[in-house]
Structure 1
Amino acid sequence: MRDVPVDPGTRLTNFRRYTWWSLIGVTAFFLAFSVKNQIMDTAVPVMVRLAAVATLALTVAAIAVSTSRRLPRIPLESPGRPPPVRWLVAGGAGGTVLGVILLALRDYGLWSFGPAMMVSIIATFLPGRRPWLLITVTAAGAAVLGGVTAALSGQGSVFATAFPAGLVLFTGWVTLGMLWAWDVAEQLNAARRFSAELAVKDERLRFAADLHDIQGHHLQVIALKSELAARLAEADPARAAAEMKEVRRLAADALRDTRAVVQGYRRVTLEEEIGNATRVLAAAGIDARMELDRAAVPGLLPDPGPRLLGLVMREATTNVLRHSRARHAEVGYRIIGGLARLTVANDGAPDHPGTGRESGPGTGLQTLAERLQAVGGELTWRRDDDRFVVTASLPAETTGQESANARNAAAATEPEAR
């Protein structure tokens, strides 16, 4: 089995490797255990012992190849992939011959393990309820074959009938259960990816709706006033000029509001930005935790501080989703020592993290660091093993806020003093 990542950023690759090795390891061990006495018995003819070894190797190889095909390297790939028919036929023949050899040597217990294992592997490629139908029929056939053979040999038929049937059912239960667990994990991983994609699409729809509301309103008013100004151009030039000035003002307002929407400033507070980011991370299957100091009210941070921290929050979230294999993320915002500090940390960082320029001009970490520095702030990022931390800090006017509160209190009490 080649060690190919199934889905970067998840543990599905490790789970695939664990499932494959567990199934093949247990199968090979019990198959070898079932024939070890006959292979080591010198009283058994050499040709029979060699045939047992050959069929054992063929069965294990067929199970390994078939299981690799059943556990896809690409998510949700298995339903559309054809089963390895040749390997399944070869493994079925090998398991059958191995079972016949053991049964001929009067091993009335473990002779059915080889056929049961191959039937279980074949059943995993069948849809609906057919897997258990095949296993049930095989169990009934093993019970009849074992009981009849034991009776013809003058042996007790109860054990020879019950044990092979139970072994077939137990083998099918374990094999189908392991591969069923893989299917569930794969579907959950696909649901996680779809949920993250839907979160991004919802954000795009929100942006489109905001842009439509702004542009639709402004453009409609601009069109009406422009039409009115055109009609008044000859009859009342002064009023037409006033209407065109109004059109110019509306165009400027539309441009300003559009820029605000593009930058994410319009009707979105820093607290909402942090909440949206944690929800997007959670939708991507990342354990996102938020620590927000409720005392750090936006009024303590002068413009353009909240907007810059909102951009840092978006850029850090984008980098986590796009460039890391994070499983955990922490977002914190608080005011300490006169500084508003925003911290975004995640694990699963790549070996060679970039500078954040991948997201485009004006929004990369390097550019944001320059913009924060221009207003007296600082933006840093560091990598510690697989942990990546982005920290943005800006001066918070706590002293100024306290002074303003004191002035307001004094103004309120001044009329009473008079």
Structure 2
Amino acid sequence: MSDAGTGLAGFRRYTWWAVPGTNVGVLILFTAEWVLDSDVPLQPRVFCAAALVVEVAAVLVLLDVRLRGTPARLPAGWPVAGVLAAIVLGVCPLALRNYGLWPVGPAIMMAVIATYLDRRARRRLVLTATAVAALPGGAVSLLAGDGQLVYAALFPVGVTAFTSWAVLGPLWAWDVAGRLEEARRLSAELAVKDERLRFAADLHDIQGHHLQVIAVKSELAARLAEADATRAAAEMEEVRRLATDALRDTREVVRGYRRTSLNEEITNATRVLASAGIDARTTVEPGAISESARHLLGLVMREAATNLLRHSRARTTSIEYRVADGVARLQVSNDGAFEPAADTGTGLSALAERLDAAGGVLEWTRDGERFELTACLPAGKETR
């Protein structure tokens, strides 16, 4: 799953540091201290040092792949290498009766592998690993008779359970956030498709009747052409009139579709942004304004809403519209501008030229993550 262009970029950075970073840090902190301990025999320290390098690499690779997509496939080789390294990191300390260290490596690798499984298999693996974690330490403690049976059996259980929660919890939240982002994108697309379907339905209703009648009368005129030329001419005149009516009605449908109304655009933008998970707060103080000015400001509102959906990670947006001192002013701001500044493309530039020709102005500014678009037009001046 690519998070470019969405609100997940910051969350992914946090998840990266919270999951791979934390687990690698724990592995290195606890295992390296034991590896560098001169009281520990040299051979197990060498084995554990090599195994530590392999498991750290495996954890980083596997979690990076997991964060890139859901569902994700286990990359070949790394799971096997990680599991073998985890076994070495568990067996060497356990052979020397270090009951606190031996479960760390195996627990982390088990949790990482579990992130690739479906919910049922994941639960089964975690529960089984947590239960089995009591056996190795408990068995070694019983055979050694060192009196640490409770610690040797229960501490690895706690380590395994806690590690599973620490790894799987944030990744579960990551998956939920990804699904919500996908739902937001689909909601915005559905809003556009609904508008297209509405236009198609209107066009069908207008054209369907006219074309059906034209077809019938044309067929009748063709039959009458030789038998009754006068009546055939009358029918063709009726066909001409119907074609003119159909053309006029079609133009009215297209004009109504292309001609925007500021109030309707604000209402539609609020609805679409809300469905996309953006809190749209509106302040509208209407006043007398020409139809052409209302149309231009409606185009600005439509472009602003489109840019919000496509080119921002906004959580809230503010829409303010006022008419005062003969000037209509529309301001749209949001808290999700990209770094670097969002590309305005040609849409806003073209609108700025149209507003300038109409005696108005269109400006946009960016301050940190805040993006603000302001359009001003003479309220009563007719524009084309």
What pairs with 1:132-151 in structure 2 (closer than 5 Å)?
132-151=123-142
What pairs with 1:254-293 in structure 2 (closer than 5 Å)?
254-265=249-260, 269-293=261-285
Instruction: Give SS of 1:95's match.
Output: helix
Partner in structure 2 of residue 8 of structure 1: 4
Within 1, Cα distance between the matches of 2:142 and 2:344?
Answer: 78
Partner in structure 2 of residue 348 of structure 1: 337
Correspondent of 1:213 among 191, 205, 213: 205
Within 1, Cα distance between the matches of 2:91 and 2:296?
Answer: 76
Instruction: Give SS of 2:362's match.
Output: strand
Within 1, Cα distance between the matches of 2:184 and 2:120?
Answer: 27
Provide TM-score, normalisation by structure 2.
0.85
Correspondent of 1:319 among 307, 320, 323: 307
Mean CA deviation greater in 199-208 or 309-318: 309-318
Identity fraction in percent: 49
Within 1, Cα distance between the matches of 2:342 and 2:110?
Answer: 49
Contact residue 381 and residue 388 of structure 1 kept, 8 A? no
Correspondent of 2:188 among 191, 196, 208: 196
Contact residue 69 and residue 78 of structure 1 kept, 8 A? no
Partner in structure 2 of residue 17 of structure 1: 13
Within 1, Cα distance between the matches of 2:366 and 2:205?
Answer: 44
Distance 1:279 1:325, change over 3 A: same
CA shift for structure 1 position 102: 0.7
Contact residue 220 and residue 232 of structure 2 kept, 8 A? no
CA shift for structure 1 position 60: 1.4
For residues 212-256 of structure 1, the C-alpha deviation after alignment (integer angstroms, 9 at most, x for no partner) is 222224434555666677759833589568636633641442243
CA shift for structure 1 position 191: 1.3
* 2:241 equivalent to 1:253: no
Within 1, Cα distance between the matches of 2:153 and 2:38?
Answer: 28
Mean CA deviation greater in 323-332 or 17-26: 323-332
- Would you say how many aligned residue pairs link Structure 1 and Structure 2? 375
Contact residue 341 and residue 366 of structure 2 kept, 8 A? no
What pairs with 1:11-410 in structure 2 (closer than 5 Å)?
11-72=7-68, 77-79=69-71, 81-156=72-147, 157-223=149-215, 234-235=229-230, 243=238, 246-247=241-242, 249-265=244-260, 269-293=261-285, 296=286, 300-346=288-334, 347-348=336-337, 351=340, 357=346, 364-373=347-356, 376-385=358-367, 386-397=369-380
CA shift for structure 1 position 178: 1.9
Within 2, Cα distance between the matches of 1:175 and 1:58?
Answer: 19
Within 2, Cα distance between the matches of 1:237 and 1:95?
Answer: 93
Provide TM-score, normalisation by structure 1.
0.79
Instruction: Give SS of 1:167's match.
Output: helix
Within 2, Cα distance between the matches of 1:26 and 1:162?
Answer: 23
Q: Which gives a bigger RCO, structure 1 or 2 (Cα 8 Å, sep 6+)?
A: 2
Distance 1:85 1:384, change over 3 A: closer
For residues 33-72 of structure 1, the C-alpha deviation after alignment (integer angstroms, 9 at most, x for no partner) is 4335532332322222222221122211111111111111
Mean CA deviation greater in 344-353 or 173-182: 344-353
Partner in structure 2 of residue 403 of structure 1: none
CA shift for structure 1 position 99: 1.1
CA shift for structure 1 position 354: 6.1
Within 1, Cα distance between the matches of 2:339 and 2:50?
Answer: 46
CA shift for structure 1 position 94: 0.9
Within 2, Cα distance between the matches of 1:291 and 1:328?
Answer: 14
CA shift for structure 1 position 91: 1.1
Distance 1:225 1:307, change over 3 A: farther
Distance 1:16 1:197, change over 3 A: same
CA shift for structure 1 position 378: 0.9
Within 2, Cα distance between the matches of 1:85 and 1:320?
Answer: 40
For residues 65-89 of structure 1, the C-alpha deviation after alignment (integer angstroms, 9 at most, x for no partner) is 11111111xxxx331x420241111
Contact residue 8 and residue 325 of structure 1 kept, 8 A? no
One-letter amino acid of the structure 1 residue matched with residue 374 of structure 2: T
One-letter amino acid of the structure 2 residue matched with residue 256 of structure 1: R
Distance 1:57 1:242, change over 3 A: closer
One-letter amino acid of the structure 2 residue matched with residue 130 of structure 1: A
One-letter amino acid of the structure 1 residue matched with residue 155 of structure 2: F
Distance 1:222 1:87, change over 3 A: same
Gaps of 5+ in 1: 358-363, 399-418
For residues 253-281 of structure 1, the C-alpha deviation after alignment (integer angstroms, 9 at most, x for no partner) is 2243133144145xxx4312211022223
Contact residue 218 and residue 236 of structure 2 kept, 8 A? no
Distance 1:261 1:223, change over 3 A: farther
Contact residue 19 and residue 167 of structure 2 kept, 8 A? yes
Distance 1:326 1:30, change over 3 A: closer
Contact residue 341 and residue 394 of structure 1 kept, 8 A? yes
CA shift for structure 1 position 372: 4.3
Mean CA deviation greater in 172-181 or 306-315: 306-315
CA shift for structure 1 position 115: 0.9
Contact residue 9 and residue 327 of structure 1 kept, 8 A? no
Partner in structure 2 of residue 401 of structure 1: none
CA shift for structure 1 position 96: 1.1
Gaps of 5+ in 2: none
Q: CA RMSD in A?
A: 3.0
Mean CA deviation greater in 85-94 or 228-237: 228-237
For residues 109-146 of structure 1, the C-alpha deviation after alignment (integer angstroms, 9 at most, x for no partner) is 23111111111111111223222222222233221111
CA shift for structure 1 position 323: 4.2
